[in-house]
Amino acid sequence: MSNVPELDAAGLPEELSAVDQLLHRGEANPRTRSGIMGVELLDSTPEWERFRARFDNASRKVLRLRQKVVMPTLPTAAPRWVVDPDFNVDFHVRRARVPEPGTLREVLDLAELALQSPMDISRPLWTATLVEGLADGRAATMLHLSHAVTDGVGSVEMFANIYDVERDPPPQGEAPLPIPQDLSPNDLMREGLNKLPRSIAGNLLGALGGAASVVGRVVRDPISATRGVVDYARSGARVMGPVSEPSPLLMRRSLTSRSEAIDIKFSDLHKASKAAGGSINDAYLAGLCGALRLYHQAKGIPVETVPMAVPVNLRADDDPAGGNRFAGVNLAAPVGVVDPATRIQKVRAQMMRKREERAIDMVGSIAPVLSFLPDSFLESVAGSIVGSDVQASNVPVYPGDTFITGAKILRHYGLGPLPGVAMMVVLVSRAGYVTITTRYDRASITDPELWARCMLVGFDEVLALGGDGRATPASFTVDVPESTSTSPNGSAPQ
């Protein structure tokens, strides 16, 4: 990648999209904070100076890692990404140590502290922390960035520069330093003021032209034009509207969260999905539904469906790594269905139907309007837009083995934000394994040990469709029993 600053069509630093602006503004509020994180388990501990240098070099190649957001003092212009003239790699690349012999549980708890803390929005919005002291000489990394920087799929491309495909590759050459950019909030405000008359005129002409075009279509074919507007509105209602009653168990929200994860062989989940005529994503969501069913039953509050939001990747092959390019679909997740094959088919039918909606990117369409709302309104608006108890993402990473400064990545766990939901679930497929990490609000999931068992059993139900594959507790997780079978009536393990 080039070290020339990213510019827009007018030769100016790149503007934030309306969606990225919303995510950036959300960083100030703990209930709308948008941090995403990848926790990687390494088979050895990298040498610190090499680790630091690798990220410094990556930040020279991928400009977004050196760019900060400049907000205008008054909203006369869109915020811009600019290369930070005060970039300090030692702020972004950090090291921590857990008491030996450390476990993944302690790493996940460290990750929670980072995700629950505000990012410094005056700097580039990412950090990379090397966690030392794990058992058997192992280590972990925590790659933390704001969702305003990119989405999960984009982050895979953005951080590709830090990895090798062999343990001891030839040394890398040092990339040149990017050209810093001095742009203050006042400068950006004045720039917007100077362009305001032209912007108003251009927007007015654009609006008049658009209105004339619409009127022309209505005059030529009023029935078709009206039907198109009505069809889009109906599609938007199906995309954004409620699909299921919320779960009584998952209603409460707080400011504390916890993460729990399991490991599955990719081949086992693949065989199970094919046995039921579904995809990896269908089997993943069906396993999650099974875990939710078992938890609700154990708590004495069985439910048939739970509202679940599933992001759909809209990123094209030639899109840059930065920025967010996804849409969300809402499912009535079939939690009450006991048979795992039937769950897979029900999930698949809903996903296929929702992907065909004309208004699938409705949030992107209304984001420019939402970006003008005061901060005090964003939290309530975000909650009403999400309208789900659970969000579930699927992020494919690298199919083969990868290394960072001599250490092999054994597992990769994805932790997402909780934008008004009770639980964020992230599937990461990497190097022959699937990891499924649930990050949940502790006011909604109040029994962590029970939930950990329900995850294992819920996914074992699905894996049994393809053979004898089993889900296992995430590597180094402590005090979580091995997976056991459910009782004949489908009740949760006690």
Catalytic residues: 147
Distances (CA, A) of 25 to 8, 36, 46, 149, 467: 22, 15, 35, 12, 47
Look-up of token digits 């005129």:
201
Closest C-alpha to 435, from 464, 476, 386: 476
- Beta-sheet pairing, 390-396 with 423-430: parallel
Distances (CA, A) of 332 to 34, 72, 343: 24, 41, 11
- Beta-sheet pairing, 35-42 with 139-146: antiparallel
Residues 6+ apart with CB under 8 A from 203: none
- CA separation for the pair 494, 477 (Å, rounded): 19
Helix, strand and coil in the chain, % to nearest 5: 40, 20, 35
The two tokens of residue 191 are 């720039």
**Does the N-terminal peptide bond of residue 124 adopt cis geometry, omega within 30 degrees of 0?**
no
What burial letters (b/e) apply to 99-120, b meaning 16+ CB within 10 Å? eeebbbbbbbebbbebbeeebe
What are the φ and ψ backbone dihedral angles of 408, each rounded to 5 degrees? -85, 135
The H or E element spanning position 278 is: none
Closest C-alpha to 399, from 377, 430, 369: 430
Residue 3: how many other CB atoms lie within 10 Å: 15
| 3-class state of residue 214 by DSSP | helix
- CA separation for the pair 387, 380 (Å, rounded): 11
Supply angle C-alpha 42, 46, 48, rounded to 5. Answer: 140
Do residues 115 and 415 lie in contact, with contact meaning Cβ atoms separated by under 8 Å? yes
| CB under 8 A, 24+ apart: contacts of 358-362 | 358/231, 358/232, 358/235, 359/232, 359/235, 359/236, 359/238, 359/239, 359/240, 360/235, 360/239, 360/312, 360/327, 360/329, 361/314, 361/327, 362/236, 362/239, 362/240, 362/327
Residue 224: how many other CB atoms lie within 10 Å: 10
Rg over CA atoms, the chain? 24
